[in-house]
Structure formats: C-alpha cells, structure tokens
Amino acid sequence: MKSLSCFGFFSPTFFRCLSVTVGVTTLVACGHVGVRGTGDLGIIIERASGRVQIVEHSGATRLASVSGLGDLSHASVVISRDARFAYVFGRDGGLTKVDLLLQKIDKRIVQAGNSIGGAISQDGRLIAAQNYQPGGVKIFDAASLELLADIPTSFGSEGKRSKVVGLADAPGQRFVWSCFDSGEIWVVDLSDPRHPQVRTFKQVGREPYDGLVTPDGRYYLAGLFGEDGMAMLDLWHLDRGVRKILPDYSKGEEKLPVYKMPHLRGWAIAGRYAYVPAIGRHEVLIVDTESWQEVGRVAVAGQPVFVMARPDGKQIWVNFAFPDNGQVNVIDVESRQVIKTLTPGKAILHMEFTPRGEAVWISARDDHRVMVIATDDFTTRQVLQADSPSGIFFTSRAARIGF
C-alpha cells in the first residue's frame, strides 16, 4: 500500500473498491487506479434522507452517495480552497466535512441546536457556522473542525441571543452577518482566530432575513423582512456605517403573502446591474450598482426565491415560492423581459450553473429528480434521480467570494 501513496488522487472507481476490501489483491483486481481532478465535482442535497450525492458536471453523472449527515431539511454547503472537501451545514446543527474524492464523511460534529448555513474564510483555513439556536456564530479549524471561537449574538438587557442569518466571507480574513432579532450587522476580524475582533452596527432595519457580499467583496447587503429596502455596508469604509437602499420599492402597497423567504446568496449581477428578489412582490428589482438606485423591475410568475445570473451575465434565471414553485422564468438582460418560462418539475428548490454557463442543474423535490438543462436552447440534456433533492453546489464556488 505504501507504494501506491504517490498517486495522490484516485478515481472514484478505485475508492469504491477500496471501501469494500483493503488489500493489494483487491486493488489489482479492480483495475481502475487513476487520477482525477475536483474542478467538475459537486454535491446534491437529498433533504429527506440525510444524504448527499456526489456528482460531476462534465458528463452529468452521479459518482457516489454519502449518508449519515443528519437533518438536511435546510442545508447549505461551502467548498474547501482545494475543492476536495464539501462542508455541509444541517438544520440539526450538524457540520459535516465530506471528502469528494474518497466519497465519504471525513469528520462530523453537532455544533448547535439549529443551524442554517456557514462560510469559509479567505485563506480557506476557517469555517464559520451561523446558528438559529442558541444564536451566534462558531468558528472552526477547517482541517480538524476544532472549535476556535464562539461568538454569541447577545442583545438587550436580558442578554437574549439573536438568530444569525446572511453569514458571508469577506476580504481581510473577515466574516459578516446579520442578526434577525436585534436588527444588527456584525463584522468580525479573524486574523487571530482565537481572539476575534467584533464590530457591531445597530438599528440597520427591522428583521434582516438574509445577506450577501457583492462578487468583488466590497459591499455587504442585508434584505429586510420587517420593512422595505435593504441595509448596505461598505466593507472598505466601515466608519461610514450602514446605508439604507431601495427604501420605497413597495410604495405603501400591501405585500402579497410570503410563503418562502427569498435567498439573496444567489442574487444576480449582470454588468453594472443587480437583479434582486422583491419581498412580497411578483417582481425582480433592477438596481444600478454604482448609484444603488432602482432603475427598473421585471414582472415574474410569482414570489422570487433565487434570482441567478448565467455566468456570462446574458440571462437571469428565477425560481419561485409556493404556489408557483413548478416554474422557472428566464429573463433576457438586454430587453429586461421574460423570454422563457419552463416547467421542469414539482417544487423547484434550487438551481446551479456549470462554471461557464452552458447548462443549469435544477432540483425538483417532489419529482425526486435533478434536470440538466441547456441554457442556449432550453432542452433537457440529462435527468438524474435523487431523493427529495434541494441544494446543488459545485466546487467552482471555492474560487468565489461570498460563496
């Protein structure tokens, strides 16, 4: 076995054989020792079974299934710097490190009572988990999952903890997040991970529900559920404080029912314009990222959940909350019109573009399948079976700020 270690990375076939019987005879009998990269790998969450699929998008195939990840009814994933490991955050507070090459769990801990996501640091050495219960953020060593810092989001005279939402990585070895209950934005500098330096911005708006960092890493924006608009923080100039943008997009009109919160992490930037889901509206807002003023809006089929730009910025793909969650709208950026409505399945929960945008993977939870759809002619290239699939996360995220 020692002589084989020089190969480094092996093919998935090799590892399936290895997991059954470890021995030189078995390895030779398999006959599939090889080398592969991780750049085209990804994870599909199977939310009902506590399981993930490992897939590759070059051939649109499933490579393996990994079980034992706990409650994945709301799960998110970040990717290690070298694109070998996927860190899965589960609803039960579980943090699971999955080895995409060995196709198994590398490490798993339960770090909170209820967790909804996390982020990976600029240098790839730190994992941050955002928690609903008991509230706060925990910082872990990415290699060992050792706890390095526990940052409670306490507020008020009684010392209550706020639910944490919108956690994102930022340049300068920082993380930034929003506090739903206290209406705050926190920025933490983790240059020294065991001694975090926290800066708090208060009264940013009522009930921030999600947040994101712009692709260049400069601005953090938090969507507000309790009022119109968004809160924006310039990460280059923290002393300027939080600025309110888009304060009047509903103009006093009654909001429609919100059956599922929009997700800002998948927002769309196309050129100088941002395409943002409107809370309680069947619209996508168009925002000039130089002035941060609304410059238009596009009527869509329902309450947007994910609003995502094709990597070349030519199209915006939008999925929706119930009862319109069987549809996907495609917006043409030049005309600012919906040019295609797709009905790929029941309960469309997530979309993920291949790195250069020739295809998009779409999960249909209630049809138990993932469709691979061409973005030029909207034909279905492949269908993969999955048990109640939700999130889809490709390793290309490893090189993107805020993902």
Domain-embedded: residue 115: no
Q: Specify the pTM.
A: 0.89
Domain interval for residue 23: 1-36
The number of helices, as runs of H, and strands, as runs of E, in the chain is: 2, 34
Domain-embedded: residue 343: no
Give the number of domains in the chain: 1
The structure tokens 């090459």 sit at 101
CA distance 203 to 227: 12
Q: Which residue ranges in the chain fall short of pLDDT 70? A: 1-33, 249-263, 265-266
Domain-embedded: residue 21: yes
Domain-embedded: residue 14: yes
pLDDT score, position 261:
60
* CA torsion through residues 149, 214, 115, 69, sign: negative
Domain-embedded: residue 335: no
- Are 358 and 60 contacting, i.e. CB atoms less than 8 angstroms apart? no
pLDDT score, position 11:
44
Helix (H, G, I), strand (E, B) or coil at 382: strand
- Are 183 and 164 contacting, i.e. CB atoms less than 8 angstroms apart? no
Domain-embedded: residue 137: no
CA distance 280 to 305: 11
Render pLDDT for 278-306 as a digit per residue (tens, 0 to 9).
Answer: 888 899 999 999 999 999 999 999 999 99
Domain-embedded: residue 210: no
CB atoms within 10 A of CB 165: 24
Domain-embedded: residue 18: yes
pLDDT score, position 187:
98
pLDDT score, position 238:
97
pLDDT score, position 248:
75
